[in-house]
Structure 1
Amino acid sequence: MVNLDNVKNIHFIGIAGAGMRAIANIFMEKGYHVSGSDLKQSAVTDRFAGQGARICIGQCAENLQDAEVVVVSSAIRDNNAEVVEARRRHIPVIHRSDALVHIMSWGKGISVAGAHGKTTTSSMLGQVFEESGMDPTLVIGGEVDYLHSNSILGRGEYVIAEADESDGTFLKQKPYIAVVTNIDADHMDHYGSLDNVIEAFREFIQKLDTEEGLAVLCFENDKIRDLAPHLKRKYVTYGIEQPADYQAANLHYIQGKLHFDVYLHQKMLGAMQLNVPGRHNVLNALATTAVARACRIPFEKISLALSHFHGAKRRFQTKGFVGDVWVVDDYAHHPTEINATLTAARDMGTHRVVCLFQPHRYTRTKLLLRQYGRAFIQADKLIVTDVYSAGEDPIPGVSGQLIADKVKEMTGQDVTYIPDKNDLVRYLKENSRPLDLIITMGAGDIYQVGERYLAAAKEMEP
């Protein structure tokens, strides 16, 4: 493994990707000479260029120039022209997970892992540590509202990062604290079985230091509850319904804000207020509380900082209003996430909940089809468009139609399949009603539909 302390010129293939740009930004702030390529120009590539990075649109051998190390993600294939050239020139090619491990070696690592909730929990931790004067380094998968970025180089002792389980590379990390928000049947194309997923998380927790390391585990998840007795590392637990060390109770909304009480070992620590809805965000706040208190941050500072938290980009993010129609965007793409987000939307009031869903990856659509059949039960109206491939090759017979048909079969819900997302804006203009809560949902580019609908609807206002 190349020692990144001994190089200055690092090249990122696909620099605009969420995980890649977070890491590239940290190396730029650290003083490295960063270059990168991406298939198309974007606000992200423009921002890097404006900060002094050498950015190439398109990928070809000439882009490497004086690169000493090339960083790739799992989405970059071995036949990529820049990868081929790097190997021809004997330039080390490393995975972004290796670059992240190097960043985490600069301090005490706090890794947030789990099938769902990583970005929000990491963002909450960042807000709490920042407001508490800890000046952390953050490397997060989604853009953080108060940073307008998804990474920042701090001068404090803690490095807070998401641990990506999708390709197994999170097993390279050896954190000081490991959060596991949940374990679910996802990324089956990599793991092959749920048992293999569970075993990977067990290995991840076992990477903790035997003396100082701490795991923070969500006991609302049955797979984590079953795993915990077999762990050989120190851990604390959190939950709402299930008995746990940290627990939340008395959840209720006041003027759109979510209030609850926090208990530790059945003794009340205090009250909390969140600007983001849903039981899943209460759990994220409990995880944040457990980590922050383990790092000697008082509960009062934790509660105050979380009351200022307005979410991460694409996590129940308000895009705007047209009259009394509310348009929200959410990254949810796994059935568990979808159900949690729609339940939160339902709990917020008497809106008609209209969900526009863009499936993410052909493999996930095929493998989780039955779970998708019941995931949208809290939606009053569901519109499904076609699959966002995320670089995958199509699978014959797999499309958004499969999900639409399965939902109709299993729940009898009101579902419309519109394969071309370019037709969705017109559909919304013709079918939205006063007081609708419209949620664009998925990990692809479905958010653009909400933005275009808002722009079109506002043009029609008197």
Structure 2
Amino acid sequence: MTNPQLSNPAAGADQAHTDKAPTDLAGHAFHLIGVGGAGMSVVAQILAARGAAVTGSDAHGGDAYEQLRQQGLKVHLGHAAANVPEAATVVVSTAIKETNPELRAARERGQEVIHRSQALALAARGRDFVAVAGAHGKTTTSGMLAQALSTAGQDPSFAIGGVVRSLHTGAHYGAGPAFVAEADESDRSFLNYAPTVEIVTNIEPDHLDNYGTPEAFAAAFVDFAARLVPGGLLIACADDPGALDLARTAAAAGTRVTTYGTTTPADIPGGPVPGAAHVRVEVIARSATGTQASLTRWDADAVAAGSGPSSQPVSLELSLPGDHVALDAAAAWEAGCELGVQSTAMARALSEFGGTGRRFEDRGEAAGVRVIDDYAHHPTEIEALLAAAREVADARGGRVVALFQPHLFSRTRNFADRFGAALAGADRVIVTAIYPAREAQADFPDVTGQIVVDRTPGDARYIADPYAAARAAAAAAQPGDLILTIGAGDVTRLGPVILEALAERSASA
């Protein structure tokens, strides 16, 4: 029986179960605890699509839970031992505690318990697994790749922690050979995969509550690269120092590597990665509605010889703003080419990507103020988000108002200085109470959103009550402004509150 609470879920994992799994899961039963979560819900859909009997439970419900219920899956609101079929393999995430009544009942009965990542690996059995990892950028990059492969006629399977807008889902079991998935590094569970292709967007220290040190966090990615199947490809961002270090380490170990970034191979810090190909991303034009870029590939021999590019530039027209979006698209483009899509066809397919849910998602406009919702919860993500928002606000002749909900007490404490620096990209900042997720305020008595405000230059306020914060954001906005609700918690629910307050103000004017 697998213990999902291991510090490394891959250590001691039921690998034999995964390796011997049939490609058709008919006759197998799975019960997912916390099935309404973004990661769990897509696993549930894929398992069901492969013919398994799937049940689940969730403490809070939500949109993903309702979608599963509408699809005919037997899901329960609330946790109770009676929810768990006795013949089912029980699937958990690291967030599920041993005190959960369903997990406790499964343990007492001797039922098999596996981690969510193991269930996903089982569902992907027999496909070319493409794992997208990194402290941020995973959802956009994996969504881009899934949508572009679909547009190119590849019919991939995918499991993404956000809805791909053009596909209207984050989960699909297709007939094609590729299986695209986000690979969660937060609890080391990405070490349960054996990918054909890996994308690493960045290795910025995060999840230090689990890893302890930035060095331990980086070391996990070295282990992740070692999980590639023989002949597999690592695609790593050369603009990120951590990902670049990983590329060098992996190449030295004999792994096939392609780097991508805004520099030519000769301009990569420390020089080209020995033996690695490189994709240069050149942003040509920026606007409030999109980004135009070109992609040029140097193959490994050309890089080693110091000669020019080995391909003509490929034009990339993206319908989302931000240089970071162009970098994510370059990673998806290289992965698509590796999977057999012709380079210009892959670029054309990427141009149709309209984003994923909660990534620069337009929530509406009222009183001349546009409201955008975004999942950004790491300082670098927020910095990139506000840079893109500035492009949009400038085009409207307005300002950027940021309503930020920090995620986790530990992350807020560890990155307070960096959050403050990132939020300086907004004209006005309102910080609301921290979304605790798996943590408790009692363990961090001195950590509140005020510590972010104290480190944010300019116009910044702390308003603990989220609804009061939303109304304050609406009151602060003027026609032409952009209000962003930012964070990985339930700040997303505040968009309608802001729009209602703006509409009421307009009606009373």
Q: Common fold, TM-score beyond 0.5?
A: yes
* Counterpart residue number, 1:373: 420
**CA deviation after TM superposition for structure 1 residue 96, in Å:** 0.2
Query: What 5-or-longer segments of structure 2 have no aligned partner?
Result: 1-13, 269-277, 299-308
Pick one of 63, 84, 96 that aligns with 1:43. 63
Instruction: Assess if the C-alpha contact under 8 Å between 1:220 and 1:242 holds in 2.
Output: no
Name the CA shift for 1:370/1:205 in 2 (closer, same or farther; >3 Å): same
Partner of 2:103: 83
Match of 2:187 among 162, 167, 170: 167
Tell me the amino acid that sits aligned with residue 499 of structure 2.
L
CA distance in 1, matches of 2:90, 2:364: 40
Secondary structure of the corresponding residue to residue 287 of structure 1: helix
DSSP-derived class of the 1:406 partner = coil
2:474 to 429, 432, 443: 429
Instruction: Deviation per CA, 1:359-409: give whole Å up to 9, x if none.
Output: 0011111111222221112111110001001131111111111111122xx
Residue by residue, what CA displacement relative to the aligned partner does 1:126-175 show, whole Å, maximum 9, x if unpaired? 11110111111001111111222211000111111111000001011110
The residue number in structure 2 matching 1:220 is 239
Specify the alignment match of 2:262 in structure 1. 240
Q: Name the SS for the 1:36 alignment partner.
A: strand
TM-score, structure 2 as length reference: 0.87
CA contact 1:143–1:313 (8 Å) conserved in 2: yes
Give the deviation of 1:461 after TM superposition.
Answer: 4.8
1:30 paired with 2:77, answer: no
Q: Does 1:447 align with 2:474?
A: no
Equivalent of 1:125 in 121, 145, 163: 145
Name the SS of the counterpart of 1:171 in structure 2. Answer: helix
Distance 1:154 1:57 in 2: 29
Q: Quick check: 1:261–1:268 contact (8 Å CA) kept in 2?
A: no
Q: Which among 448, 463, 474 is matched to residue 418 of structure 1?
A: 463
- Does the CA-based 8 Å contact 1:269-1:299 persist in structure 2? no
Indicate the percent of aligned positions where both proteins have the same amino acid.
38
Matched, 1:293 2:312: no
1:425 Cα deviation from its structure 2 partner: 3.1
Name the CA shift for 1:223/1:323 in 2 (closer, same or farther; >3 Å). Answer: same
2: distance between equivalents of 1:189 and 1:287?
A: 29
User: What does residue 198 of structure 1 align with?
Assistant: 218
For 1:9 and 1:296, the matched residues in 2 are separated by 35
User: Is residue 2:353 matched to residue 1:309?
Assistant: yes
Equivalent pair of 1:219/1:242 in contact (CA under 8 Å): no
Residue 258 (str. 1) matches residue 291 (str. 2): yes
Which sections of structure 1, spanning at least 5 residues, go unmatched?
Answer: none
Q: Are residues 1:383 and 2:430 paired?
A: yes
Q: Residues 106 and 159 of structure 1 are in contact (CA less than 8 Å); yes or no, is this contact kept in structure 2?
A: no
**Match of 2:5?**
none
- What does the per-residue CA deviation read over 1:56-86, in whole Å, with 9 as the maximum and x for residues that have no partner? 1110111113442110111100110000100
Letter in 2 for 1:239: G
* Alignment coverage as a number of residue pairs: 457
1:124/1:285 contact within 8 Å kept = yes
Distance 1:254 1:371, change over 3 A: closer
TM-score of the two chains, using structure 1 as the length reference: 0.95
Please name the residue that 1:57 is paired with: 77
Tell me the residue number matched to 1:186.
Answer: 206
Cα offsets for 1:159-199 (capped at 9, x unmatched)? 11111000001011110011100001100011111111111
1:409-440 Cα deviation digits (max 9, x unpaired): xxx32101100001123213322101101110
